[in-house]
Amino acid sequence: AQSVSQHNHHVILSEAASLELGCNYSYGGTVNLFWYVQYPGQHLQLLLKYFSGDPLVKGIKGFEAEFIKSKFSFNLRKPSVQWSDTAEYFCAVTPRGTGRRALTFGSGTRLQVQP
């Protein structure tokens, strides 16, 4: 079975600081990778996804993530955060080639951006 680890549980940054949130997964085969974001009072929404091809993927609102296969990692980055980025961020995977479409989530990282 697959699992996902997000080691940063709570991150506090000032506006304009750079962001990197860690995500590591454990699975013996290939995976599809996702980052979801949950803004306060809103539903979970897709930030970006990686299925294949260029390991550097760009998402909405200036976010990007890099898949490093050798490290089983899919870290989320943003060069300069804004107060509106305050939210909870979840990394998720689905195994490829198994027919399973349900997501396995990490425990989430709560990001607080101070003005």
C-beta separation of 36 from 65 below 8 A = no
* Burial label, 16 (beta-carbon count in 10 A; 0-12, 13-18, 19+): exposed
- Residue 104 as a binder of another protein (CB under 8 A): the answer is yes
Among 9, 29, 70, 115, binds another protein (CB under 8 A): 9
Instruction: For the CB of residue 41, give the shortest distance to another protein in the complex, in Å.
Output: 9
Closest CA relative to residue 65, chosen from 84, 98, 90:
90
The 39-78 contact track toward another protein, x by CB under 8 A, reads: ---xxxxx--x-x---------------------------
Q: What type of residue sits at position 89? A: Y
- Residue 29 as a binder of another protein (CB under 8 A): the answer is no
Output the CA angle 108-69-78, nearest 5 degrees: 50
Closest CA relative to residue 108, chosen from 46, 35, 56, 42:
35
Instruction: For the CB of residue 15, give the shortest distance to another protein in the complex, in Å.
Output: 27
Count of residues interacting with another protein (CB under 8 A) = 25
Residues that bind another protein (CB under 8 A): 4, 6, 9, 32, 34, 36, 42-46, 49, 51, 90, 92, 94, 96, 101-108
